[in-house]
Structure 1
Amino acid sequence: MEFRQIQYFLSLYDEGSMTKAASRLNVVQPALSMQLAKLESELGQQLFIRSTRGMEPTPAGRQMYKLFRPVMGDFARARELLMQTDGELSGHVSIGLIATVAQDLLAGAVTEFSEAHPRVTLSLSDGYTPALCQAVTEGLLDAAIINQPRRKLALNSHPVLSEDFVLATGLRHAPLSETVALRQATALKLVLPTRLHGLRDILESFAQVEGVELSPALEVDSMNALLQLVEMGSYATLLPRIAVRSRVEEGTLLAHTIVEPPLVRHVVCVTHPRRALSPAASAFIAMLEQHAQSRTATSPTTPVRP
């Protein structure tokens, strides 16, 4: 088994197409096919099945990917460390974020970081907390910004930000005071994320402690769709302040502070305990944290209803 063959295998797995993988590797397709055939012959197992949808990995292929992706990630990080002799950051960074953080922070952080470190390439994805933790565990992500789970993780974690939940309403919603009790909020016509979403899990835990029940009229996981529904006027929602901040600033939503009790979520950054972050990854995470803390420190108050 050669290093080049593993590189070819991983590229083919990621791309799902012989044509795309060959283009990514800058090799001709026959060379890629030949190396794959040699690898399958040595292992005595078929790694892909050709179909109309492209190259479908077999169970053996999926197992090999799970085993070798972290190894290649470690190799890439080690190579980056050795090559950074001029003090300028370089290499590839792969970070996952929960959607409520990504939608408000990502554009600004990426723009500032890319201008400062043009030799670093970024791969950024959003998702649910469990899936992001799994990707860090398997070496598919360098790190992830997630809601702090209630259960103990096998990953290293450090705090990024703490922020309150607010009750968000549209401008045409029935008037409410600037502060709202949780029990009062749960009596409204709510649209909330589904139980697959980490935010819903946090809200359910608060509701359980207070002895109230969350019975949303509608469940939507897409933040954009959820907020658009609230803007239309008939629905209200409970979300972290950062998730509604931009629309409050634009004047399309009102944010009411939750009291009795105040609802606070904690966001953390998780990394693998046995995989050191590259300098580039550490720098980008620091940039994200700086933007997160800056945004939460200047959270807007509820605008005056026009």
Structure 2
Amino acid sequence: MELRQLRYFLEVARQEHVTRAAKDLHITQSTLSHQLRQLEEELGTPLFDRVGRQIQLTQAGRMFVGFASRALRDLEDGRLALQSLSGLQRGELRVGVITTYTNSLLPQAILDFTNKYPGIRLQIEDLPATQIAQRVLEGSLDLGLAFTMSETPGLKTEPLFSERLILLVSKDHPLADHKSVHGRNLSTLKIALQSKQYASRQLIDRHLRRYFEDGVCMELDSIETMQLMVAKSDLACILFEGAVLPLPNLRAIPISTPEVVRTAALVWSRERFHLAAAKEFAVEIKKSVAQRRQPAMT
């Protein structure tokens, strides 16, 4: 049995389609089919029921998914453990970050880390919180930067700071001089928000949407673009404090009623090996938090 056969099997099991799996694996369909047949022959049982191009896992296949996944995870952890023997001289670090913190917390942390450890190749992905959690669990990310979430088996979160929802307007906006705003103040505003795929937007909708049912005139993935537009127009946007950029034409006003708070956090796997590089990058993130004068939690 070869490692590639396990990887091929898991990809086909995930997609339930040989042609698409072969394309994503960058091999021919015939090669993939041959490798799967060899694996089934070695195991002595069919792993898939084939119906045309569509295939489904058999009972044996469903059972084998767990064993194959664990085997590959254990081997990957072994590789990472051996990689750590070289200290921080070389290697790769994969980090997933929610959009909220990509611009506000990461730039200085990345610069400081890469200056200290130039041999570590840093791969940063901007992802929704749910994807970060899933990929940390799977092992395709070494570390996540998101926020505390409901208890998830296999994950642990390390709190960094708490942050409130903030209304952002330009310095010339009628609400610019307010010390705080009530939800009812939002009813007459033209509001830009993040897209609905993001957990931040889902929290906003859950707690505040009743105040501005018809006021959302724009949805954006880019928090930076949103804030630049607000600074130059009569638009308003709602973000958590950690995402606010230091733009001179912006005014940040706490939303006092209802007050919505969440806690930024590092996301770790409870079961997988933690790279020394991941631990060091976490240190740089905490330094970046401290420099932003957020109240770091212990």
Determine what percentage of the aligned residue pairs are the same residue: 23
* Alignment partner, residue 17 of structure 2: none
Q: CA deviation at 1:190?
A: 1.8
Aligned to 1:119: 119
| Correspondence 1:46-65 to 2 at 5 A | none
1:37-186 superposed matches below 5 A? 38-39=38-39, 42=42, 68=68, 71-85=71-85, 87-149=87-149, 151-154=150-153, 155-186=155-186
Structure-1 separation of matches of 2:282 and 2:111: 14
- Distance in 2 (alpha carbons) for counterparts of 1:257 and 1:286: 29
Query: Which SS does the other structure have where 2:176 is aligned?
Result: coil
| d(CA) in 2 for partners of 1:19, 1:201 | 31
Which of 283, 288, 292 is matched with 2:289 structurally? Answer: 292
Q: CA deviation at 1:2?
A: 1.6
Q: Any idea what SS the aligned residue of 2:121 has?
A: strand
Q: Given the superposition, is the C-alpha separation of residues 253 and 10 from structure 1 closer, same or farther in structure 2, using an over 3 Å criterion? A: farther
2:272 aligned with 1:275, yes or no? yes
Indicate the residue corresponding to 2:191 in structure 1.
190
- Can you give the 5+ residue segments of structure 2 that lack an aligned partner in the other structure? 15-19
Cα pair distance change 1:19/1:83, threshold 3 Å: closer
Please give the per-residue CA displacement for 1:119-147, whole angstroms capped at 9, x wherever unaligned.
Answer: 32232212222222222223322232223
Q: Quote how far apart the aligned CAs of 1:280 are.
A: 1.6
Separation of aligned partners in 1, 2:38 and 2:256: 65
Displacement after TM superposition at 1:5 (Å): 4.5
Conserved 8 A contact 2:80-2:273: no
Shift of 1:294: 2.2
Correspondence for 1:213 among 211, 214, 217: 211
Change (3 A) 1:194 1:18: closer
C-alpha RMSD over aligned residues: 4.1
CA contact (8 A) 1:189 1:234 kept: yes
Deviations 1:253-298 (A, max 9, x none): 2222333455432112222222231212222222223213322439
Residues 261, 3 of structure 1: alpha-carbon distance in 2 compared, 3 angstrom cutoff: closer
Q: 1:138 to 1:76 in 2, by over 3 A?
A: closer
